[in-house]
């Protein structure tokens, strides 16, 4: 079973991160490529620009944002590609937002974990 964690991209990389995947559409301010220590940059998994702009990282919009973002993810062809690339390895989704609880990586991590469970049930 794959373990998916989330972490701010500005936090120091760790050997416990596993595959480090930036899931923001925009490159994080002030971050060099070396400091980011990325394995993948999956900007196509980030919310659409319209959804991101509407959300504006407002906690009062998070519940609705989550529903809208999950709809986007269900039709996003990058999801199965990423799940395939991760395989059974540990993965850490990296994001730039300041709020650790109100951001798209929280939603994406939960979705990917559910997606992986559904995929393994279909195979078994």
Token digits of residue 50: 């319209």
Residue 121 is predicted with a pLDDT of 45
Q: What is the per-residue pLDDT across 73-102, written as a single tens digit (0 to 9) for each?
A: 999 999 999 999 998 899 999 999 999 999
Neighbour count for residue 55 (Cβ, 10 Å) = 19
Residue 123 is predicted with a pLDDT of 45
Pairwise CA distance, residues 94 & 17, whole Å: 10
What lies within 8 Å, CB to CB, of 29 at 6+ separation is 96
Reduced to 3 states (helix: H, G, I; strand: E, B; else coil), residue 12 is coil
Predicted confidence band of residue 59 (pLDDT cuts 50, 70, 90): very high
Pairwise CA distance, residues 78 & 65, whole Å: 20
Average pLDDT over residues 4-12: 96
Residue 24 is predicted with a pLDDT of 97
Angstrom distances, CA of residue 9 to CA of 26, 30, 98 = 12, 11, 10
Q: What is the CA radius of gyration of the chain?
A: 14
């Amino acid at each position: 079973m794959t373990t998916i964690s989330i972490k701010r991209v500005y936090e120091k990389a760790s050997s416990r991160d596993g595959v480090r995947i930036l899931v923001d559409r925009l490159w994080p301010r002030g971050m060099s490529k070396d400091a980011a220590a990325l394995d993948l940059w999956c900007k196509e998994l980030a919310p659409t620009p319209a959804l991101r702009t509407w959300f504006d990282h407002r906690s009062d919009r998070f519940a609705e944002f989550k529903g809208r973002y999950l709809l986007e993810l269900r039709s996003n062809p990058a999801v199965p590609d990423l799940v395939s690339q991760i395989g059974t390895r540990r993965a850490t989704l990296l994001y730039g937002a300041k709020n650790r609880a109100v951001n798209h990586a929280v939603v994406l991590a939960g979705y990917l974990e559910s997606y992986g469970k559904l995929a393994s049930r279909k195979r078994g």
